[in-house]
Amino acid sequence: MAQEASMFSANDLVAANHSSLAGGDLEVKELPLPLDFDWGAATAAYQIEGGASQDGKGKSIWDTYTHLEPSRTNGQNADVACDHYNLMPQDVELMSSLEMGVYRFSISWSRIIPLGGRDDPVNEQGIAFYSNLIDQLLARNIEPVVTLYHWDVPQALYDRYGALLNTDEFRADFERYARLCFSHFGDRVKKWVTFNEPYIIAIFGHLNGTLAPGHCAERGNNTKNEPWRVGHTLILSHASVVQIYASEFRPTQKGSISIVLNGHFYEPFDTSNPADVEAAETRMIFYIGWFGDTIFLGKDYPPEMREYLGARLPQFTEDERELLRRTAPINAFYGMNHYSTKYARALPDPPAEDDWTRNIEEGSVNSKGEEIGPASAMAWLRIAPEGFRKLMNWVWNRYRLPIIITENGCPCPGEDDVERAKDDSFRQRYIGLYLDAISRAIYEDGVKVQGYYVWSLMDNFEWSAGFGPRFGVVHVDYETLVRTPKNSAYYLRDTFKRRRTVVGSQKQAT
């Protein structure tokens, strides 16, 4: 989940949300989806597993980051979280009862290689946990979709060489880790994701410092260059692992591999101002094109980035360019994490020295004072399904890859109380509208969208916000660890039956 900084309080939002939605301006149409459209839920290891030092697990940078003083995570940590490590069979049974067809989860690198490195010992208990999880999913006809890296590099690699700041060292260690996962799980896992949200890893972890390892200028880090080095490392490490999978494992395992990119859609702050119109497109390129053009098109960084960033942006060697060209067509799908839409405004003032946006401001209100949509329990996350549809079109037109919505969802205000949390009509409205947008993209725009994984299966540790925002379709009592499905979980189950049944009836009629 891409964590953004500011939040409204639950009390402030309750009245606003109900009044915003009461007018009927956002109406769910229950539009059809293809019969073979996959749906399920997504999670990340650090956010749900707990078992922080259980059965030989090593520390990740998030284990360290959440224990810093003063706290950078709302005084909370995920040492226990949802205790999925110990309650996994119960959670799989819960997914089965909700008739989910897919479960996207991440592997904790430091759980299977505690020190992380290519010459470090393997933890067989960690491997056994994920192998058991995969077996239990398959026994209930739930497809496992596995992410290798969801923000939690082993702390030992950060201590040794700065982790993602050292491209050659990280790349070699990530290759070994990936090979280990392919070897142990690839006979049963048919969809792999290398990295989750490289933009967030680079910018939030190595520029504004709100996510681990917390690098920012105020702490003496070189934020002018670090994010671009981290992005470079992620791109080349992804390409290397894609090549390894294609040459060594895919011939027998018959699976597919790609990456997950997050992104807002951007509308101009003032549609009559050419600078704002250009700013909206530029923001898309700096956010998505940064990784998409190199990984999916096998090209150099977008020229707009080269022009603005100059020497801050690393160069690819000729061998690296050839690797990107060779591996680009191997990526089998575009993993899309999306939550909301923003306005982009070109700023007249000189940019900061470490500016990463080409001096563009983003926000939720345009020049006319109009909000992009009703706010959820986080200020930045607003209901804007038309922007979602435009984003799917933007990505399809640029990359021509089948899209899987690998994360989408929202938190509702007032969800600490389980009875109130169960009646999550705001979330149901959000999900319904975004599913409608997918249907329109498929049937009206010709975009190929193959699946939808709601974020998240259950309430969990929301990174720097701690246990505050609740994104789950299942409520978790963090004291008792009792899981209680919210109405949105049943809404998803039932709406997919209805939407796919409609398509089936239409096909039979034609």
| pLDDT value at 509 more than 70 | no
pLDDT at 13 over 50: no
Domain count, the chain: 1
Q: At what angle do helices 226-244 and 167-185 cross, to 10 degrees?
A: 40
Q: pLDDT value at position 1?
A: 60
Rounded to 5°, angle at Cα 430 from 46 and 424: 75
The model's pTM: 0.94
pLDDT the model gives residue 10: 30
pLDDT of residue 17: 35
Which pLDDT belongs to residue 25? 62
Contact 105, 144 (CB under 8 A): yes
Each residue's pLDDT tens digit, 253-271: 999 999 999 999 999 999 9
Instruction: Please determine, for residue 335, whether its predicted confidence score (pLDDT) is greater than 80.
Output: yes
Q: Which structure tokens are listed for 186?
A: 């690839």
pLDDT digits (tens, 9 = 90+) for 341-381: 999 999 999 999 999 999 999 999 999 999 999 999 999 99
Q: What is the mean pLDDT of the chain?
A: 94
Q: Specify if 508 maps to a domain.
A: no
Pairing of the two strands 256-262 and 191-196 = parallel
Instruction: Pick left, alpha or beta for residue 198 (phi over 0 → left; psi -120 to 50 → alpha; otherwise beta).
Output: alpha
Q: Which of 182, 193, 507 is nearest to 336 (CA)?
A: 193
Domain that holds residue 380: 3-12+23-499
Residue 501 is predicted with a pLDDT of 75
Q: Which of the pair, 209 or 11, is modelled with greater confidence? A: 209
* pLDDT tens sequence across 47-101: 999 999 999 999 999 999 999 999 999 999 999 999 999 999 999 999 999 999 9
Beta-carbon contacts of residue 295 (< 8 Å; ≥ 6 apart):
235, 238, 239, 259, 324, 327, 328, 331
For residue 8, the model assigns a pLDDT of 24
Q: What percent of the chain has pLDDT over 90?
A: 92
* Confidence label for 201 from pLDDT (cuts 50, 70 and 90): very high
Residue 103 predicted with pLDDT over 70: yes
Alpha-carbon separation of residue 482 from 94, 290, 312, 506 (angstroms):
12, 41, 49, 41
Provide the token pair at 406. Answer: 């690998």
Kindly state whether residue 510 falls inside one of the protein's structural domains.
Answer: no
Question: What is the pLDDT at residue 19?
Answer: 31
Q: Is residue 18 part of a domain?
A: no
pLDDT bucket at 413, cuts 50 / 70 / 90 = confident
4: confidence class by pLDDT, cuts 50, 70, 90:
low
In a domain, 419, yes or no: yes
Q: What angle do CA 307, 198, 47 make, to 5 degrees?
A: 155
40 occurs within a structural domain: yes
Beta carbons within 8 Å of 247's beta carbon, 6+ residues apart: none
**Beta strand residue intervals within 121-255, DSSP E:** 143-149, 191-196
Mean pLDDT of 406-417: 93
CATH of the domain at 262: 3.20.20.80
pLDDT at 500: 85
Q: Which of 275, 429, 410, 284 is nearest to 342 (CA)?
A: 284
Query: How many C-beta atoms lie closer than 10 Å to residue 169's C-beta?
Result: 18
Distance CA 180, CA 174 (A): 10
User: Is the pLDDT assigned to residue 7 strictly greater than 60?
Assistant: no
406 in a structural domain: yes
User: Is 17 inside any structural domain?
Assistant: no
pLDDT at 504 (0 to 100): 60
- 468: which 2 tokens? 């505050």
pLDDT class for 508, splitting at 50, 70, 90?
Answer: very low
Residue 272 banded pLDDT, cuts 50, 70, 90: very high
SS3 342: strand
Per-residue model confidence (pLDDT) at position 405: 99
Q: What is the mean pLDDT of residues 10-28?
A: 43
**Distance between CA atoms of residues 122 and 242, nearest Å:** 22
Q: What are the residue numbers of the active site? A: 197, 407
Q: Is residue 232 situated within a structural domain? A: yes
